[in-house]
Amino acid sequence: MTTRTRFAPSPTGFFHIGSARTALFNWLFARHTGGTFVLRIEDTDKERNTDEALRVILDGMRWLGLQWDEGPEAGGARGPYFQSQRGDLYRAQLKVLADKGRAYERDGAWWFRLEGERHLEFDDFAKREVEKVRAAPAVIDDLVRGRVERAEDRDFVLFRANGEPVFHFVNVVDDIAMGITHVIRGEDHLSNTSKHVELFRAFGAPLPTYAHIPLILKTDGPGKMSKRDRGALVEEYRARGYLPEAVRNYLCLLGWTPKDGRTVLPIGDIIAQFELRDIHQANARFDERKMASVNQDTLRALPPAEFARLATARLAAAGIAPPADRLAPVLAAAQPKLSALEHLPEFVGYFFSDDYARSPEALEGLSRKGGDPAARVREALPSLEAAAWDAPGIDAALAAAAAAHGQKPSAYMAPIRYGVSGQAGGPHFHDVLALLGKDRCLARLRAFAA
RNA sequence: GCCCCCUUCGUCUAGCCCGGUCAGGACACCUCGCUUUCACUGAGGUAACUGGGGUUCGAAUCCCCAAGGGGGCGCCA
C-alpha cells in the first residue's frame, strides 16, 4: 500500500514555525516511503480566508522546499483541495450519518450521536447541566505515543446552525475521501482524536495510522510558541536572509534526531533516515541560537557561486551594488567568516563606500581591552606608510611599530581594522587591508587618528 | 473542575524496549592555544538522570505514587 500523508493548514495570514514542522514531517515521511504528500486547505472559516493568506502558506512551503504532490496549483485526482469547495461532499456525508442514526438536528445545528447510556450532569467547565454519555473509550494506536485510550462523553456538533461544517467533521470526511493513510499532526490534536475515531467508526472506514508529534515551546516562559513570539513565523526567517535549507534542517531537530549523530546534514540523508517511530514524545523548546548556528554552518558550506548569488541579492536589497569584479573577491573573503546573510551589509559595506557606519560598541570594546585605539593607529602609521602592501610587508610594519613603542604586534591589528572598517570583526585582517588597498587604508587611518 | 500526553546538562538530545559504561554529542557559556585581530580555528572546562517508594547483587533504564510541565474540554481550526 502506498502511503498518503497530508498537511491541512488554515490560511490565517501567517505560516507558523510549528505548522511548518508538521508539514515537514508529513513531507519527510511521504518522501521516505515513496508516498504522496497532499496539501489541503482548511478554509471553512470564510471570514478570515483571503488570497494573500493562502499565498503566505504556499510561498512558505515552496521556500522550505516542501513541494506537495496533490493540492492547490498541483492538481490531483482527489480534489478539489479547498474545503470551501467541498460542501456537497460534506452534506452528503452528513446524510450518511443521519441515515445511520448517528447524526441528529437540534437548535438548528447537526450533532453527532455517541453510543452509550445517557444522563444529565452538571459540568464544571461548561458551568451548566449537560447530557453526558457513557461511551466506550476510543483506542488510538499512535506511532509516537503508543496506545492511548480516551472516551468522549458528549455529543458534538457536525454542522453549525449557519450551515457550515466544523473542523472535526470535514477533517475526517476529507481524510477518508483523500485516502490518507498516515495522520501526522501536533500533540494538541491528541485529545480530539477520540472524536475523529468515533467518526471513522461511524462511517465504517478504517482508521489511519496516527503519529502525534511534540509541540514547539517558547524559548522562555510558559506555553507553546505563538504567532507573537520572536522567531515564530517562517516568513520572518525568509525576510532576514536565513537559508531555507538551514531552517528546514533545524526544524527536523525539534522532535527528531538523526541516527548518524550529525546536526547539519543534507535533506536527502534526513529523508533516508526518517522514521515516525523515532519521533520524540517530549515537547521541545525553540532555541534561536542553535537555529542561527545551523544557518551559519550551512552558509559556510555553500558552494561559493551559490553564496555569491545570494549575497549579491542581499547587498542589492541594502542598496549596495558594486560591479561583479569588485564584489567577487570581497565575497570570497567574507563567506568563511560570515554568520548570517542578514549581517552582510555592515560586514562588507565599507569596501564599497567611504560613507560607512562605525560601530560604537566595537570602539568601546577596543578601548576597554587595548587602551586608546587612535593612539595605536598613530604609532603604526609611519611604518605602514613605508610598507609594501602585502601580508609580509604589513606584518613587518606592525613588528617595527611594536618594537618602537613597547607593544605586541597584535595590539595594532584590532585598532587598524576598526580604523579602516568601523567594525570589530570581519574578514581576515590581511584580506581587509589588501582588498581596500593602501591608499584608502592610509586615508581612513589618518582620518581616524586625527 | 475533568480528560490526555510528557519529565536526562541553561537548550536540543544519545542511552531506556533487551537493567551493570567515569551518563555521550551538539548549541550556548568559560579557559587556553594559533609569535597576530576576527562573527575563524584547535584543545580543554563547567553543567543533567524531577522527588519518593518498590523489584534487584545492581535501576537513568522495570513497577507504583507524588510533584512539575504541556495540551484538550467551542455551533475556532
pLDDT for residue A114: 95
Q: Which nucleotides of B are covered by protein (CB under 7 A)?
A: 1-8, 10-14, 25-28, 35-41, 69-77
Spell out, as residue ranges, where chain A has pLDDT lower than 70: 45-49, 369-370
Instruction: Report the distance separating Cα A388 and Cα A391, nearest Å.
Output: 8
> Is the C-alpha dihedral spanning A127, A107, A138, A170 positive or negative?
negative
Q: Is nucleic acid strand B under 7 Å from A227's C-beta?
A: no
Length of chain A: 450
Using alpha carbons, select from A180, A135, A181 the residue that is nearest to residue A156.
A135
CATH tag, A4-213? 3.40.50.620
User: Which SS3 state, helix, strand or coil, does residue A140 take?
Assistant: strand
Give me the residue spans of the domains in chain A: 4-213, 234-300, 304-351, 360-449
3-state secondary structure of A3: coil
pLDDT of residue A408: 83
Return the pLDDT at A47.
60
Residue A182 in contact with residue A208, Cβ under 8 Å?
yes
Protein CA A279 to sugar C1' B33 (Å): 41
- What is the pLDDT at residue A260? 86
DSSP annotation of A428 reads -
CA A380 to C1' B60, in angstroms, rounded, equals: 60
CB contact at 8 A, A148 and A142: yes
As annotated, the active-site residues of A are: 227
Average pLDDT, chain A: 92
CATH architecture of A234-300: Orthogonal Bundle (1.10)
Q: Would you state the pLDDT for residue A70?
A: 97
Nearest to A230 by CA among A215, A240, A241: A240
Q: Which helix (H) or strand (E) holds A128?
A: strand A128-134
A224's grid cell: 507553546
Cα of first residue to Cα of last residue in chain A, in angstroms, is: 77
C-alpha dist (Å) from residue A166 to A45, A135, A169, A185, A195:
9, 22, 6, 18, 12
Question: What's the pLDDT score for residue A355?
Answer: 83
Q: Which of residues 71-100 of A touch strand B (CB under 7 A)?
A: none
Q: Is the CB of A303 under 7 A from strand B?
A: no
Nearest to A277 by CA among A183, A187, A211: A211
Grid cell digits, residue A16: 507558523
A154: which nucleotide lies closest, measuring CA to C1'?
A: B73
CA–CA distances in Å: residue A209 to residues A30, A61, A131, A145, A163: 13, 24, 31, 12, 31
Q: What pLDDT sits at residue A136?
A: 92
- A362 CA to B4 C1' distance (Å): 52
Residues 36-55 of A with CB under 7 A from strand B: 42, 44-45
The pLDDT value recorded for residue A46 is 62
Peptide bond between residue A80 and the one before it cis (omega within 30 degrees of 0): yes
Give the three-state DSSP class for A109: strand
Q: Which long-range contacts (CB under 8 A, 24 or more apart) does A202-205 make?
A: A202/A97, A202/A100, A202/A102, A202/A112, A203/A93, A203/A96, A203/A97, A203/A172, A203/A176, A205/A176
Q: What would the 3-class secondary structure string for A274-310 be? A: CCHHHCCCCCEECCHHHHHHHHHHHHHHCCHHHHHHH
- Model pLDDT, residue A270: 96
Give the per-residue pLDDT at A49: 67
pLDDT at residue A369, as a whole number: 66
Yes or no: is domain A360-449 CATH 1.10.10.350?
yes
CA distance A437 to A427: 15
Asked if residue A192 keeps its beta carbon closer than 7 A to nucleic acid strand B, the reply is: yes
Please provide the DSSP assignment of A29-68 as one string: HHHHHT-EEEE-B----GGG--HHHHHHHHHHHHHTT---
